[in-house]
Structure 1
Amino acid sequence: MLKTSFNAGWIYHDGGGGALDALIHGGQDNGKPVTLPHDASVARPRDSREPNGSGNGFFVEENCYYTKEFLVDEADKDKNVWLEFEGIYQNAFIYINHSYAGQCPYGYSNFYIDATKFIRFGEKNLVKAVVKNGVPSGRWYTGGGIYRDVNLMISDRMHLIPDGIHLSCVDLEEGQAVIRAESTLEYTGCHTRDVVLELKLMDEEGNLAAADSMPVTAEEHSRETYRQRLYVKQPRLWSVESPCLYTYCISVREGDRVLDEERGTFGIRTLQLDTTHGLRINGEMVKLRGGCIHHDNGIIGSAVFAHAEEFRVKKLKEAGYNAIRSSHYPMNRRLLEACDKYGMLVMDEFSDVWTSTKVDFDYGMHMADWWEHDVTNLVNKDYNHPCVIMYSIGNEIPETGNRFDAAWGKKLADKIRSLDDTRYVTNSVNMMLSIMDQIGEMMAGQTMEINSAMSSMGEMMNRLVASEIAGKATEASFAQVDIAGYNYAACRYEQDGKEYPNRIIVGSETYPQDLDVNWELVEKNPYVIGDFSWTAWDYLGEAGIGKISYGESQGMGFYADYPCKAAYCGDMNLLGDRRPVSYWREIIWGFRKAPYLAVQPPQHQGQEHHMTSWSMTNAVRSWNWSGYEGKPVTVEVYTDAEEAALYVNGEFLEKKAAGQEKKARVLFETVYTPGILEVAVYQDGTETGRDRIVTADSSVKLQAEADRSEIPADGSDIAYVEICLTDEAGNLNPEVDKAVSISAEGPGTILGYGSADPDSEENYFDTTAKAFEGRLKAAVRGTGQTGTITITLQTEGCETVTVELKAV
């Protein structure tokens, strides 16, 4: 079918979009023109009084609606018309020419609107998308509005249904792969018609790898699924190391005329799961080096762009990850495509809630009525993506410990298996939450918000999780799935391997500081297939769960107050820059041999540190500490070598054994002296690597570079501009927090701009922002015309810097 972008020409309005709004605001001209995707929440100033507070990072959640006028050609009057909304947050109601056309409560679900009967062909049409966003609606930064793509689809009455092509490798042996293709053909017209389904599979060079054709007799007003088989000789397999993709083309022909055609990509790979070998892909054992991610991309909020998602996947691959978990929502199409392209495995998660809400207006209000719709769309969206290896039916669902409500897990798992028998099903269970009803007396007087409870309970939580009561309470829930997802329950890995010998386990959510212990368990026990840390990438909302405070204890306080906007617990910060813990993780995984240096801020030396469970260190990559010359400082070295020797300005200070205090880490106490901080590491007495940090001098230079030279003129994708403050020699100076102003000339606009500072009061739509750890970042988007976009950056005392991009 003809699928075109429907992102341009929308008008954004405040309000609920009802009759009263129409009277007050009049027609669609009274609003703000926007091009989708558009995050309505990140475009508003934050508010310290926002009801969802730290949960949503003090971003504002409000009702809004969008309108758009459009034409459908008179020549298409005998065709079918759909609108695809890839994601609207949330409680979306769609009206076409003032008539109700459909709705979707779930803010992370893609959905389709059959617009055929509402369209006035050859005339102007009006579509309105209304967002009813109750507050609070989520436990983290949700974003708001139409934050993913919208597409217009037009087809013949004889057509392949949207997301109706399913390809899978059902057999693989040396020299041949057997591919099963299922195509759902719908005919909305009258009279019987004879057509041919033609299927072609092309390799990466465009060569025909396999083909098949099938004659079909379609009766009026029918929908049928047809199965074909292809035999691919000498197939090129998709894997993490070699993500080879084939292109498929399925056409519906009537004589010489093509009535409909669908194209897409597909990877040939097999999955196996057992307690002896764990997870195997193409016959090879794979351990999941995983991380959880939320759906926002920092400075652009939740708006989805292909370049932003590719940037994220590439950065995580470079850091050693081979798997990500979409927490806690169905993953968007652009991210799935990036994972296919670069070889990143995916645990795609359905929801954070089932039948009970975690905040007042979340999906728990609607799940019991809408779960089949949303699960079906999730699976159909994912089916042809080789990166997806398992579906998670939920995250930390309290119903998993209730023998009646746990039956929802069976409903979800059975539905997924009926739609897709090629992948595995898991459930990310927090056992402490599952037994909350049974330990209510023990928790008397404590907060029942799960993150706060976990952080405050400390070792008691491990004892509860390891208890027989937790094991028994979750037996039924884990029996319903192929893989048992353990959130913060590594203490059970070995005991449950004996207690439940047929259980496959994955650490679906773990504390970052525990990887050294957890990874030993993953490698030791084949039935434990991997570890997903919380979290791989910093995110907006759940403000302050990874922050470190100093001095007197804040008692039971957990989340941070305004102006904190971010969790600040990711291996990557909000801009995608690697934080020290990510290098330690890479060493634990065995993917990094070079040592890595980081330094604990000397201004907090000697103060009591208060870390949450989602923190490991306050160390940063800097040897610039003005005003602390001669003062004590703690240096951290990450290495898998036996020993490490520290040098300052070439002077040997001390050699220490690594891993004494924590695996792959060694701490040195010294004093801050500007110059060169250097470490050498040794194995069996032989030097195996060095790392150094250089103090930037007092000169300051502004530098900027775009990460691509061209962007689409229509605004369908973005480029990032990386900005840093260095000395004249090019050494980054993390101390410099100068305010840098940005502007754009030509056919482009600044979509988002800012730093990774979790405590900054700046908005991402501001044109001036202070550097954090010496860095800033901007996202640039086209405005509809071709030409040269000039980005200008200015800060006091530095030469003005310009960056040019082509809008094409």
Structure 2
Amino acid sequence: MKRQNLDREWRFKLISTSPNQDIQSEYTVVDLPHDFSIIQKRDPHTLSGASNGFFPGGIGIYEKTLYAPVEWKGKKVILEFEGVYMNATVHLNNQLVARHPYGYTSFHCDLTPYLLYGQDNTIRVTVNNSALPNTRWYSGSGIYRHVWLMIGESVHITPWGVYVTTPNVSTECSTVHVKTTVENISEQPENIIIRSTLLTACGNVAAMDETNLYVPSKNTAEAQQDLIVSPANLWSIENPYLYTLKSEVIKDRKVIDSTETRIGIRSISFDPQNGFQLNGVPIKLKGGCVHHDCGLLGAAAYDRAEERKVELLKANGFNAVRCAHNPPSPAFLDACDRLGLLVIDEAFDCWREGKNPNDYSVYFEDWWQKDMASMVLRDRNHPSIIMWSTGNEIIERDGRSEGYIYARKLADFIRSLDNTRAITNALCALWDDTAVKALKAKLGDLPEDYDVWGEVTKEFAEPLDVVGYNYLLQRYESDGKKFPGRIICGTESFPREVFDIWSTIEDLPYVIGDFVWTALDYLGEAGIGHVWYNGENSFLGKYPWHQAFCGDIDICGFKRPQSYYRDCVWGIAKAPYIAVYKPEYYGKEADISRWGWPDVVSSWTWPGFEGKPTRVDVYSMDSEVELILNGKSLGRKPAGKPNRYIASFEVIYEPGILEAVGYNEKGIETSRTVLKTAGKPAAIRLTPDRNRLNAKFGDLSYVTVEVLDAEGNVVHNADTNIYFTASGVGSVLAVGNGNPVSEEMYVGNQRKVYHGRAMVVVRANGEAGNIILTASAEGIPSAQIIIEVN
């Protein structure tokens, strides 16, 4: 079917905010993807509270005019929504076309019966995210992913109708098996030809096959073909080679429909002796969990924003990602295919038993099959996906509410759609004594050492190929003996346990990897990674906390201290990292969340604390580390793996130069890191991640903003307010920083720096030319960059 993007120029009106406060709003013109939560002020009284980052929800209406030419008569016309959060109702010309409750799965709307040909038609989408709380993290609201118009002849390939597997894989000769589903909406049966052509990355034909297919009237039929590829380029993390499969429907020697699918030829396997293997090579999964939001953009899933997330993960040593806890955008998976990142694609955070009053549990029984099918049918051609996850920390894991039955139902249903990948589910510890009470009622008093978790989750785990363990490191070794043959994956882990986790994973072949919570920081679950000093004892932060503050990489994409430590554990660190504890808290006991990290900053600028003590940790792979302050050695201390990659020093603060020098086992210097005390703010530096954009609408440049002193050092303690203007063929889409408690908005033209840095996101408006971005602040010369768009 022909696909046409429908992202531009929707009329939008916000008619209610949560908690259900009606507002008088006029229609404005917006472009998709669009998130109407991120553009509202955070509300300390919102019913979803810290879980949703104190962002409001509400009800919004989107409208668009669609002209239907007479030539569309007899054709199939479909709308595809990649993601609408949540409770979407779609009307065409005031006729109800579709409802879709789940906010994370893609869905199709058949417009064919309702179109008025030769005239304008009105599409109206009502998005209802007013029933709060309905999520445990920031969801966003609205049509936050792409919308596509799909037009097909009376005989056409159905949406998601091409299914590719690679049953035989080798570089010498591989088999690509293709199933193509074709629909015939006409009154007459049709005899057609399905032609499948596999093209190399250079566009050359690698293999081709033509098959005759009879398609009954008002029905579908499936063609099956084997394409032999010799030689074959295999898809891998290091070489993510992609072919293009061109699928064509031929009638009377004329191509009447076609579609293209990017595929990778690769094999995957899982077993307790060899763990996970890609193309026959064992690989430990260096993974991280990632929510769907795009940081400063809220939930708005711009293609470049999704691609950048994958780039950040790859650049920081990750080879795998777990999509928590819902299917991601197609653009994210496309980037994983293109850049070489392995994926766990996850369906749900809850089943019949809910975690919030208005979450997906309200819809699960009626919708789980449709939403599971949406995930698998849409995503099953992505070579990056190695596991399907049926859920996260499902309450029914102890067997309650038919949990064992549903565990098998969901796993079996996935296998009916795709049996080429492993199926997992992320299990955590039991949250209450329901299972204990049930066991006591059945068995009487339990022995003191009775393994309640192991016994009650055993049947839940039976349908799984890989059992996901959330925060259960202590069970890895014992469960390998208790459940011989079980393959374990650490689907969530605490950042500070990375040393012990990775040491254990390297020793146990049946534990295939680890996924830290989280790789990228996110909105919502505000303050889960907190460090308290005031005796506060709460799971999440109070307003104005709005970021989780637990990611290896912060919401702007800047590395946080735990990411530098992980570099040491994974053996990819280039130099020592100097982690300085804030002097104002010296001697005070810190309450660090289990998802948190010590309150350290890589800075030697602490005005007002001259002569005061602090602690400095140096993260280093080197055998030994020396700390030098203003040319004077503060001593050498052992580091490296035997010392958990940390050398600690007590230091009296004095301004100047702090150096960490790494030495190998022979005492030879291998690396050096230098921190300099910064002076007063004197300049602004703008550094775009891309200084050349595509002229299509929605391409983005992420511009790092830094406040510098006269010598070019970043002024860590600056909180300068920076104002931004963009002229030319683009605009400022978002502004932000890594401050988890800021009350500033992510839309607008100003933002304070945090630790001397901020970020501004610039969007191309669809024309060629230049974008001129200017940053200015009181008392500092303004800075300017030019971004080319062509």
Using structure 2 for the length normalisation, give the TM-score: 0.95
Q: Whole-Å Cα distance in 2 between the matches of residues 585 and 675 of structure 1? A: 28
The answer for the alignment partner of 2:429 in structure 1 is 431
Give the match's secondary structure for 2:382.
coil
Q: Tell me which residue corresponds to 1:703.
A: 685
User: How big is the shift at 1:69?
Assistant: 1.0
Amino acid at match of 1:3: R
Deviations 1:3-23 (A, max 9, x none): 010111211112279xx999x
Q: What is the distance in 2 between the residues matched to 1:259 and 1:167?
A: 22
> In the alignment, which residue of structure 1 is the partner of 2:369?
372
CA offset digits 1:680-732 (Å, max 9, x no partner): 22232323322222222335210113222344555333221221112233222
Match of 2:331 in 1: 334
Q: CA deviation at 1:32?
A: 1.4
Identify if the C-alpha distance between structure 1 residues 699 and 59 changes in structure 2 by more than 3 Å, giving closer, same or farther: closer
Secondary structure of 1:576's counterpart equals coil
Equivalences for residues 655-674 of structure 1 within 5 A: 655-658=636-639, 663-674=644-655
From 137, 141, 149, give the equivalent of 1:140: 137
| Aligned equivalent of 1:47, options 43, 60, 67 | 43
The secondary structure found in structure 2 opposite 1:15 is strand
Aligned to 2:533: 550
| Residues 1:237 and 1:467: Cα distance change in structure 2 (over 3 Å) | farther
Residue 591 of structure 1: how far off its partner (Å): 2.3
Amino acid at match of 1:574: I
Q: 1:580 to 1:732 in 2, by over 3 A?
A: same
The answer on whether the counterparts of 1:465 and 1:489 sit within 8 Å (CA) in structure 2 is: no
Q: What amino acid does structure 2 have at the position aligned with 1:429?
A: L
2:570 corresponds to 1:598 = no
- Asked if 1:75 corresponds to 2:103, the answer is no
2:213–2:221 contact (8 Å) kept in structure 1: no
1:140 maps to a residue whose letter is W
Residue 91 (1) aligns with residue 80 (2) = no
Provide the C-alpha distance between the structure 2 equivalents of 1:637 and 1:705, rounded to a whole number of angstroms.
28
Q: 172-181 or 332-341: which moved more? A: 172-181
1:482 match: 465
Q: Does 1:793 align with 2:775?
A: yes
Partner in structure 1 of residue 607 of structure 2: 626
**C-alpha spacing 1:465/1:12, structure 2 compared with 1 (3 Å):** farther
Aligned-pair distance for 1:274?
Answer: 0.7
SS of alignment partner, residue 752 of structure 1: strand
The answer to whether residue 538 in structure 2 is matched with residue 540 in structure 1 is no
Is the 1:9–1:69 contact (alpha carbons within 8 Å) kept by the matching residues of 2?
no
Distance 1:784 1:205 in 2: 28
SS of the aligned residue for 2:65 comes to strand
Deviation, 1:474, is 0.3
Task: Give the equivalent residue in structure 1 for 2:720.
Answer: 738
AA aligned opposite 1:396 = E
Q: For each residue in 1:386-435, what CA deviation from the matched residue of structure 2 results, as whole angstroms up to 9, or x when unmatched?
A: 110001110000101015222111111111111011111000011323x5
Cα distance in 1 between the residues matched to 2:30 and 2:315: 35
**By how many angstroms is 1:216 displaced?**
1.5
Q: Aligned ranges for residues 84-123 of structure 1 at < 5 Å?
A: 84-123=80-119
Match of 1:459 in 2: none
d(CA) in 2 for partners of 1:158 and 1:353? Answer: 39
**1:649 Cα offset (Å):** 1.8
Partner of 2:3: 3
The match for 2:126 is 130
With over 3 angstroms needed to count, the CA separation of the structure-2 counterparts of 1:440 and 1:730, relative to structure 1, is: farther
Segments of structure 1 that go 5 or more residues without pairing to the other structure are 442-463
- 2:568 matches 1:587: yes
Task: Give the counterpart letter for 1:566 in structure 2.
Answer: Q
Could you tell me which residue of structure 2 aligns to residue 416 of structure 1? Answer: 414
TM-score by length of 1: 0.93
Q: Deviations over 1:105-137 (max 9, x none)?
A: 000010000111111122110011111211111
The 1-side partners of 2:79 and 2:653 are apart by 61
- Note the C-alpha offset of 1:615: 1.4
Mapped partners of 1:595, 1:201: distance in 2: 48
- 2:683 aligned with 1:683, yes or no? no
Give the partner amino acid of 2:501.
N
Distance of 2:29 and 2:2 partners within structure 1: 26
Q: Report what 1:349 is aligned to.
A: 346
Corresponding residue number in structure 2 for 1:181 = 178
User: Which amino acid is 1:268 matched to?
Assistant: I
**CA distance in structure 1 between the aligned counterparts of 2:541 and 2:192, rounded to whole angstroms:** 62
SS at match of 1:472: helix
Answer whether contact 1:431 1:465 (CA < 8 A) is retained.
Answer: no
SS of corresponding position for 2:601: coil
Q: Does the CA contact (< 8 Å) of 1:294 and 1:327 recur in 2?
A: yes
- The total of aligned residue pairs comes to 777
**Which residue of 531, 542, 547 corresponds with 1:561?**
542
How far apart are residue 480 of structure 1 and its match?
1.1
2:28 to 24, 27, 32: 32
Structure 2 residue aligned with 1:693: 675
Supply the distance in 1 between the matched residues of 2:449 and 2:165 (Cα, whole angstroms). 39
Could you tell me how far apart the structure 1 residues matched to 2:21 and 2:252 are? 52
Is residue 550–residue 608 contact of structure 1 (8 Å, CA) maintained in 2? Answer: yes
State the AA in 2 paired with 1:752. Answer: A
Asked if the contact 2:106–2:374 (Cα under 8 Å) also holds between the matched residues in 1, the reply is yes
In 2, distance between residues paired with 1:680 and 1:467?
A: 51
Secondary structure of the 2:659 match is strand
Given that residues 465 and 492 in structure 1 are in contact (C-alpha distance below 8 angstroms), is that contact kept between their aligned partners in structure 2? no
Using the TM superposition, name which of 590-599 and 782-791 deviates more. 782-791
Mean Cα displacement is larger for which, 798-807 or 406-415?
A: 798-807
- For the residue of structure 1 that corresponds to 2:277, the secondary structure is strand
State the distance in 2 between where 1:80 and 1:412 align: 31
Partner Cα separation in structure 2 for residue 136 and residue 789 of structure 1: 40
Rounded to whole Å, the distance in 2 between the matches of 1:661 and 1:770 is: 41
Is 2:86–2:103's contact at 8 Å kept on the other side of the alignment?
yes
Q: Could you list the runs of 5+ residues in structure 2 that have no partner in the other structure?
A: 439-446
Residues 478-510 of structure 1: per-residue CA shift (max 9 Å, x gap) = 111000000010111111101111100000001
Partner of 2:442: none
Give distance in 2, aligned partners of 1:527 and 1:784: 50
Structure 2 CA distance for partners of 1:21 and 1:196, relative to 1, 3 Å: farther
Listed as ranges, the matches of 1:518-529 within 5 Å are 518-529=501-512
Task: Note the C-alpha offset of 1:765.
Answer: 1.1
Once the two structures are aligned, what percentage of the paired residues are identical?
37
Which has the higher mean CA deviation after the structures are superposed, 724-733 or 276-285? Answer: 724-733
2:486 counterpart of 1:503: yes
Q: Superposition RMSD on alpha carbons, in Å?
A: 2.1
2:5 maps to amino acid: S
Aligned counterpart, 1:752: 734
Report how far residue 807 of structure 1 moved: 4.3
Amino acid aligned to 1:719: S
- Structure 1 counterpart of 2:204, one-letter code: N
- Aligned letter for 2:212? P
Give the SS at the match of 2:58: coil
1:659 is displaced (CA, Å) by 6.0
Query: How many angstroms does 1:752 deviate by?
Result: 0.9
**1: CA distance between counterparts of 2:730 and 2:161?**
37
- The residue aligned with 1:491 is 474
Contact 1:200 1:250 in 2 (8 A): yes
